[in-house]
Amino acid sequence: MTYELVVPRDIRRQIGALPVADQAELLVFFDRLQADPDQATGTFGLDMPAPVRMKTAGLSRFIVAVLIDDPAERVTAVRIEAPFAD
């Protein structure tokens, strides 16, 4: 099953302002996320079964938070943090 990926406008603008290499890393992550969101992310807070869960992924320079909505087969990017940015 392939999940629909939702990236809100403000996050798309944030991604568009990043260097090309960082954009490429996020696009690869988004592809993995759509294919298998639980495999592409790790637990955020309590790992409780629920129809909608918040999970995170650590990339080389970013932490990405997403909501996984299993009934709707949708993954929504909710935040991209760059704690290791120059």
Question: Quick check: is 41 in a domain?
Answer: yes
Tell me, what's the pLDDT at 44?
A: 76
Give all strands of the β-sheet with 4-6 in edge-to-edge order. 4-6, 74-81, 63-69, 52-58, 42-43
Question: Can you give the CATH number for the domain in which 12 is found?
Answer: 3.30.2310.20
Question: Quick check: is 34 in a domain?
Answer: yes
Tell me, what's the pLDDT at 12?
A: 96
Question: Quick check: is 86 in a domain?
Answer: no
| pLDDT tens digits along 26-83 | 999 999 999 999 999 988 766 677 888 999 999 998 999 999 999 999 999 999 998 7
Question: Quick check: is 31 in a domain?
Answer: yes
Q: Is the pLDDT of residue 86 over 70?
A: no
> Which candidate, 15, 19, 23, 16, places its Cα nearest to that of 80?
15
Domain assignment of residue 14, given as a range: 4-81
Question: Quick check: is 46 in a domain?
Answer: yes
Tell me, what's the pLDDT at 82?
A: 84
| pLDDT tens digits along 8-23 | 999 999 999 999 999 9
Would you say the C-alpha torsion 80, 22, 32, 74 has a positive or negative sign?
positive
* Total count of domains within the chain: 1
